A and B are shown apart, each in its own frame.
Chain A
Amino acid sequence: MQAKELKDGALERALNLFLGSEGNLVLGFEKGDDGVRHRIFKGGLDRFSLFNPFFDVNGALYLRRLFSKNARIMLMLRPCEIRAYTELAKLSQIEREGITAVSVDCFGAVSSRDGIADLPTDAEGLRTYFAEPERMRAPCRACRERRGVVGDGGIRIDRNGVLRAFAYTEKGETFLSLLEGEAEESLPEMLLSEGPRPEPFQTDMEAFAKDFSPCVMCKNCRDQCPVCYCVDCLFNGDEYLPKGDALLNKILRTGSAAMPQGKEMFHLIRMFHVSQTCVGCGSCEEACPHQIPLTKYFKGVSERLQAKFSYMSGRDFEETIPYLTFLEDELKDAED
């Protein structure tokens, strides 16, 4: 693993060098008047922001179904976004070949809904601002991996506030070569460390039903989830929330007086489907019109289910998704 100290403006110079080649793009953040948002840079950087303390969408969402082998894109995103990208690449939903994924240390974010426009965008400012955990959104508070250690490379801060670029793969080394200076021999301690493992999430059907009672099955959560990649989702049809003739048939058969509500099934089944790929970014919660605490459930369940197989979504491109493999001798206590 190689690293280079980033002098003032060194990163921007390197990215501009990269963007100088025809067809090269950078997916990162731009600083606007009302906050920071995603931007794809072409030709050159303009109002580039390394950090984005506002969360509205998981950037990996923009890359889904990108199959062109001609793409030469550098990603400068938050760890949860790079992790989602890694999972999607494992599932052949993004062509990896031309993409270099760089994860940047993250101090947390506020919800785009909060209406806060004015936040620092430099490392020291953000560190100070988010020193009070209550200021960041719930999913960020629960996040275990804010370090830029995933993907092909990372941008990390040490205890003195010095930025460094890291290479984790060959592509990362290529990225590093765009930067001035020499690779360092020894490295100081980094500022951010791995977050503590949360208490295993525990709830019951009553609490679940209560929290989800405002749900109207708009499916925003599913639509915004970066790893919910199905081209035609199971819940698109009339199976779980029948309408029209399908509804009539079901009522005639079951004699039920209440309108069939598929929402609990929808959420529970989707929860299982994304259990091994959920990165806990909270895009779902961000998109919910009723602000249902989706992350609490989805991240809570996926932490438990990933822990069962010692798996962490998006940590390593080579790590096989747990449901696609097995050991002959395991899970003895699963049997009754």
Chain B
Amino acid sequence: MKTGIFICHCGHNIKHTVDVGRVREYFSAFPHVALCRDYPFVCSEPGQDMIRESIEKQGLDRVVIASCTPSLHDDLFKDLLRKSRLNPFLLRRVGIREHCSWVGDDLERNTEKAIRLIRAGLYSAAHYVPLEEKQVEVTKSALVLGGGVSGLSAALFLSKMGLQVYLVEKEATLGGHVRSLRDIWPMKRDGEALIEEMEGELRARGTVEIFTSTTLSAFEGSFGNYRATLATPSGGRGVVAGGVIVAIGFTPFDARVKGELNYGRDERIMTTIDFERGAERLSLPDKPRVAILHCVGSRDEQVGRPYCSRICCINALRVGEAVKERYKDSYVECFYMDVRAHPRGGEEFFEETQEKGVLFTRGNIAEIVPGAKGLLLRGEDTLLGEVFEREFDLAVLSIGMGPATDARSLSSLLKITLDKDSFFLEAHVKLRPYDTAVKGIFIAGTCAGPKDTEEAISHGRASAVKLFGFLSPGYAMVDPFIAVVDGKRCSGCRMCERACVAKAIRYDEAKRIAQVEEAACMGCGLCNSTCPSSSIVLRGYVDRAIDDEIGALVEAI
């Protein structure tokens, strides 16, 4: 057996707390290890070429790659083996980043841990055998969860590409938050009109089913054949989808959480959303004094929102501009930490707003005190280093975005991850920003993080493109990690058959042994651990492989 071990530095992500040189030295002297190399980025093109060359030159028959967590770049490395004419299941990934370098600080101890983890992978891989992937047909349909602007965008694209689309929206109407926007920046469109246009286009297509007042109640299956149960007003409904796009939107920050701003206690204190919806009905004096607060519910550790919500500075500028438009002699002051007018044209917009006379004061407002003559705002001007108190007629809070209320329950149902702020986590921030770690499930729009309307629409389309790419071949390769019975050793006690959750085992009366229905097997391995003689084994996770991992983790170095 000739194993090649490739240790990734991942730039400095692994290298900075794991002595990769020492790890390489350790394995270079191992029996059956034909070569051991370390490299800055094994997932890069030159990194992959290096691995491929090594396989071919050395005639390797097992490959161990110690790098980021195994679920990342799975297809990439498997393809690499295929191109080198090795069965892709002779590859063993060892996670020494998420499970070692990133979770420990001590160089010496982390290095030892990495050695143990790689050793476990090495011993385990010795038991790997070539496996054939199963090819299954995929259903050319998609489930889009969320009927807001990014969901609509995704649904439109997928439908135009010929897929059957099931769009599920929990409210009674489509459109989400964009529906109530009057003047979307910078496209200068009315939200309602935009939504009606998208919805109209969607409804006109024959292969789209739209469910409103509907939620997802159950979900199972795998890529290409997901089975979802929808709770519709007229009862339960099952659909089969090849893939899923999660676009459930966001929840605006509840400004009442910041009690010192007294939102909800005085109608002169409003959020940007309130302003959007009710600007025409405002009754202000002829020369109104308007305060606009940036970063309300963003970049704020105290309320558990340390991140920037991306859209609130532009929203603040829009309010400033709108006030100046209506009230030429108004006094408008924005209180900011930074002005992040990031989209294209944003900086110019910022300058225009200043030219229109909106003032910008760097500082945080500590308190808004409603009084008979006006609102008293107390804060600190951080550039001048002075505390101030000023009176205003109106205070507009530019609130941030938070995760959707259903994010946690949906993450549980679909088995996709949330990040620390409870937005959905992408598989890889640079390489796979629309995928989740679960094959066939994608994320789009604000549920994946704050973004503006244009970005949400693009994101929806991008995720749809990816899903379409996955489904268009018409088939999917399914991991062959299913159970198989050794007929010579099976006692025919039928315990595995009774335990099997998928009902994938049947008893052969003539031979008196158990048999696995491959298509139904889910690959959990319950049968293997139920059988006292392990006569039924889960390919890829056989007893010996795991036993040797145990030994490898604990043996002295």
Contact = CB atoms under 8 A, between A and B. Distances in A.
A and B touch in the complex (CB under 8 A): yes
Interface of A: 67, 91-93, 229-234, 239, 252-255, 273, 320-321, 323-325
Contacts of A252: 31
B495 A231 contact: no
Given A232-B533, A323-B499, A92 B547 contact: no
Contact of B495 (A232, A255, A321): A321
Interface in B468-527: 488-495, 498-499, 507, 512
8 contacts: A92-B507, A93-B491, A230-B532, A231-B490, A231-B533, A232-B489, A254-B551, A324-B530
B353 interface: no
A253 B489 CA distance: 29
Contact of A232 (B31, B494, B512, B535): B535
Contacts of B489: 231-232
B547 A239 contact: yes
A239 B492 CA distance: 23
A234 B533 contact: yes
A161 to B, nearest CB: 42
A91 B495 CA distance: 7
B555 interface: yes
A67 B512 contact: yes
A232 B486 CA distance: 11
Given A239-B544, A320-B498, 10 more contacts: A91-B493, A92-B493, A92-B507, A92-B512, A93-B491, A93-B492, A231-B490, A232-B488, A254-B551, A324-B499
A92 to B, nearest CB: 5
B533 A324 contact: no
A253 B555 CA distance: 8
A323 B492 CA distance: 17
B494 A233 contact: no
Contacts of B493: 91-93, 229
B491 to A, nearest CB: 4
B532 A273 contact: yes
Contacts of A323: 495, 499, 530
Interface string B539-555: 00000100100010001
A229 B532 CA distance: 9
B13 interface: no
B532 to A, nearest CB: 4
B534 interface: yes
Contact of B556 (A230, A234, A255, A325): A255
Contacts, number: 52
Given A91-B495, A239-B547, A324-B495, A233 B555 contact: no
Contacts of A324: 495, 498-499, 530
A25 B259 CA distance: 88
Nearest to A229: B491
3 tightest A-B contacts by CB? A230-B533, A91-B493, A232-B489
Given A93-B493, A229-B493, A234-B532, A254 B498 contact: no
B31 to A, nearest CB: 8
B104 to A, nearest CB: 23
A contact patch SS: loop
A134 to B, nearest CB: 36
Contacts of B31: 252
A220 to B, nearest CB: 18
B534 A234 contact: yes
Contacts of B492: 92-93
Contacts of A320: 498
Interface string B36-70: 00000000000000000000000000000000000
A323 B499 CA distance: 8
B545 to A, nearest CB: 12
Contacts of B498: 320, 324-325
Contacts of A91: 491, 493-495
Contacts of B499: 323-324
Contacts of B494: 91-92
Residue from the set A93, A233, A255, A324 with the largest chain B CB neighbour count within 10 Å: A324
B271 to A, nearest CB: 43
B555 A230 contact: no
A234 B547 CA distance: 13
A233 B551 CA distance: 21
Contact of B533 (A233, A253, A255): A233
Given A67-B512, A254-B555, A324-B530, A230 B491 contact: yes
A124 to B, nearest CB: 42
B428 to A, nearest CB: 33
Nearest to A320: B498
Q: Which among A67, A91, A239, A273 has the highest number of chain B CB atoms within 10 Å?
A: A91
A231 B532 contact: no
A324 B530 CA distance: 8
Contacts of B544: 239
A240 to B, nearest CB: 10
Contacts of A253: 551, 555
Contact of A231 (B491, B555, B556): B491
A325 to B, nearest CB: 8
A239 to B, nearest CB: 7
A324 B532 CA distance: 13
A86 B530 CA distance: 20
A302 to B, nearest CB: 14
A180 B555 CA distance: 71
Contacts of A233: 533
B96 to A, nearest CB: 21
Nearest to A236: B533
Contacts of B533: 230-234
Nearest to B544: A239
Nearest to B496: A324
A86 to B, nearest CB: 14
Residue from A255, A320, A321 having most chain B Cβ neighbours under 10 A: A321
A49 B535 CA distance: 41
Nearest to A64: B491
A263 to B, nearest CB: 17
Nearest to A273: B532
Contacts of B490: 231
Contacts of B532: 230, 234, 273
Contacts of A92: 492-494, 507, 512
A80 to B, nearest CB: 20
B254 to A, nearest CB: 34
Nearest to B547: A239
A325 B532 CA distance: 16
A322 B490 CA distance: 21
A254 B550 CA distance: 12
A259 to B, nearest CB: 16
Contacts of A321: 495
Nearest to B493: A91
Nearest to B513: A231
A231, A239, A253 — which one has the most chain B CB atoms within 10 A of its CB?
A231
Nearest to A324: B498
A116 to B, nearest CB: 36
